[in-house]
Structure 1
Amino acid sequence: MTEKNVAAERTLLKMEDYLDLFKKSQALLEGHFLLTSGKHSAQYMQCAQVLQYPERAAILAAGLAASFRDFEVQTVIGPAMGGILVAHEVAKALGVRALFTERENGIMRLRRGFTLAAGERVLVVEDVITTGGSVREVLAVVRELGAVPVGVGVLVDRSGGTVEFGLPQSSLLQLEIQAYEAEKCPLCAQGIPAIKPGSRKV
């Protein structure tokens, strides 16, 4: 089987197959977690656990890229840290370049000499979304530079499909993992300590 055919086969996976990859990688955690959004949850999807395996990362990226093959994407971009590997692998699957944004003094920016040209067609990707805040920040960066966001792709949509960006969007998994405002968190009420498994302080 050729490399092209292998990639085509990967795009045929069903949602339960993608979920199985996450479970095999122990990427779905149970406990009391403080999310990037500031909300609390009893479950946390740690995509880094599945993305640490290049073959699994390639399978996930091929499935996500399949939704945007006809969008004439020129660049794939994601927020650091979670979106870096996703952007790289999706860009590889689409045969385009990959960039990532970073926060500088709390503001999302393109750094390291990365640039976007006016009119450049950009696909924004992320590992997990709950409220979609980081994706919206990246979209703002893309638009400020005069580039054109053509879609949003995420590995895991924790909102159950309720978060929208006004663009074509696709996710491999849609999970309705309940999240609580800190002052209404039943886990806090039980005195269970919250941990922050992600990479960004709230």
Structure 2
Amino acid sequence: MENNILEILKKVGAVLDNDHFVGTSGGHFDTYVNKDALYPHTEETSAVCKLFAEKYKDLDIDVVAGPALGGIILSQWTAYHLSQIKGKEILGVYAEKEDDKLTFFTRRNYNNLVRGKKVLALEDLTQTGSSLKKLVDAIKEAGGEVVQASVMVNKNPQTINTEMYGVPFSSLAEMTIPNYSAEECPLCKNNVPINTKIGHGKKFLESKQV
């Protein structure tokens, strides 16, 4: 399964290496998994979500939840494939950001679909684990039970694990990518230009000019 997901991501050009990237949390690294390169390819996106569905088909799942925006696509496709496998309707919902947290308590009333249900929590990638943790917390806040948390690629398997989330956690693949602070980044020290088109490099450079 790990080879399958990485092959799909490489096929759509989602794995970029030998460059200098800045991530959401401000970390610097030389390899970037650009999940946004996957989503325009519906066949490959469906295939990835079928891997999620196959991996967790034996769990008792009522709802698949993801964070807006990318997680919307993952939750929908995975819920579809789980519904096909299990022969019953599995709902796909998403949480939205509000005051630096994720919540289902919006005008969409998805909290009513999560309350009292067994939920599979999905995120595309994890480096620090914070976004998936917010999703898990949002599900619990809405009264749902997280039976499994998962990501396509765990980029920090030494730190990101079940203990961190307090619920069962696993991934389709692991890819250890060294992550450095700006002060300790060897790429910065060697004057490797920061990629401003992919990731958050442009925002980082703009913040340095303030």
1:148-187 equivalences under 5 Å are 148-160=145-157, 162-164=159-161, 165-187=165-187
In 2, the alpha carbon distance for the partners of 1:159 and 1:140 equals: 20
* Contact kept? 2:21, 2:32, Cα under 8 Å: yes
Amino acid at match of 2:73: L
How far has the Cα of 1:161 moved from its partner?
5.4
How far has the Cα of 1:62 moved from its partner?
1.0
How far has the Cα of 1:92 moved from its partner?
0.9
How far has the Cα of 1:162 moved from its partner?
3.5
1:12-51 equivalences under 5 Å are 14-30=1-17, 31-51=19-39
Q: Deviations over 1:64-103 (max 9, x none)?
A: 1122212211111111223121111111111211111221
Q: Report the count of equivalent residues.
A: 188
**TM-score, length basis structure 2:** 0.81
In 2, the alpha carbon distance for the partners of 1:161 and 1:78 equals: 23
* Contact kept? 1:129, 1:159, Cα under 8 Å: yes
Matched, 1:139 2:136: yes
Alignment CA distance shift 1:125-1:161 (3 Å): farther
In 1, the alpha carbon distance for the partners of 2:175 and 2:60 equals: 29
Give the aligned partner of residue 71 of structure 1. Answer: 59
In 1, the alpha carbon distance for the partners of 2:3 and 2:34 equals: 17
* Contact kept? 2:118, 2:147, Cα under 8 Å: yes
Q: Which has the higher strand share?
A: 1
How far has the Cα of 1:198 moved from its partner?
4.5
In 2, the alpha carbon distance for the partners of 1:50 and 1:73 equals: 25
Structure 1, unaligned runs of 5 or more: 1-13
Amino acid at match of 1:197: I
Give the aligned partner of residue 100 of structure 1. Answer: 94
Larger displacement relative to structure 2 (124-133 or 27-36): 27-36
Identity %: 30
Provide the aligned C-alpha RMSD in A: 2.1
**TM-score, length basis structure 1:** 0.84
How far has the Cα of 1:194 moved from its partner?
4.9
* Contact kept? 1:161, 1:174, Cα under 8 Å: no
In 2, the alpha carbon distance for the partners of 1:196 and 1:124 equals: 29
Q: Deviations over 1:162-185 (max 9, x none)?
A: 311232223221101111122211
In 2, the alpha carbon distance for the partners of 1:171 and 1:70 equals: 16
